[in-house]
Structure formats: structure tokens, C-alpha cells
Structure 1
């Protein structure tokens, strides 16, 4: 398991068109420092609730110039991590850097 993919699928269309192929999004499995940050964030009670519910969980790590680190979790059935319109099935957890 090196990645998880999200894409649209319609059972009503006869052929997959180019637009559907362009909607494929790949979420690579995080490793190294990012994996440590996701593991720390997943200990948060809110994250545990979301991860218990999520059938297709995904995470991303966002760093700001002020050294703030946000781990974003989402259930890919409904949204993507980091999506501005993330809805109710996503969560951001602030995490301290690992080198502190």
C-alpha cells in the first residue's frame, strides 16, 4: 500500500470520459517525519472518532511559514484533506514539530 486514490465513478455513463480520468487524485502513504506527525495527531480524541468512522481515511501535513503544523484528516468518500470545502468528514489537528 503506497497510495490511496479518489475518483468519480458513474454507473449511468457508457464510457469513461477524459473529465473523469482527470478527477483522479492520488494520496501517497506518508513516511518519515510526516508519518510521525500523523501518528501524533491521530492520538487526538477528535481524530480517533473520525478515523474510527472513516472507511477510506487519508491524511496530509501542512506546514506554514510560522512553523505551525496542521495534520488534515478526511474520509475520501466525502472530501479530501486540505480541501477548502472539506465539510463534516474532515478534521485539522495542530501538532508540535518533532524536533522540539
Structure 2
């Protein structure tokens, strides 16, 4: 009873490469959405406080009437959180 002592190579699966490509697209999507949300919220806050021109007018539909400052502040925090999670995902993929 002699057996081969060399380990048999494992077949590579294509699912690992497809999951890494979808993961990188998710990171890019999260980072882009987070950045746009943050930038739009800061633009909305500047518009509310200083009366400047609103750059991202579509975000005004997400904020309830009478709660503009609070709504834009929440969107700014959410945008930062999305950007930070995208950054964390990219660091996890590298290490």
C-alpha cells in the first residue's frame, strides 16, 4: 500500500474572480454614491444658510419641507458613512 505523498492540486474556481470583480464594482458604486450624497448635502446646506445656488437640486425632493437643515445634515453624514464603508471594503480586498 504505497500512496503518493505529493498533494493533488485544487482546481481553481472562476467564482472567486467574478466575486472580486463584483466586489470592486460595489466599492466604486458605494464610493460614488457617498461622494455625490455628501457633495449634494453640503450644497444644500450652503443654499439654506447662505442662499447660494443649489448645485444638486434633485436632493431637495428627499428632504421634508421645514426640515431642510436637519435633512441635509443627515445626508452629509450618510454620504460620509458610505464613502468610509467603500474605503474599508477596498482595504479589506487588498489585505
**TM-score, L = length of structure 1:** 0.25
**TM-score, L = length of structure 2:** 0.26
Larger Rg: 2
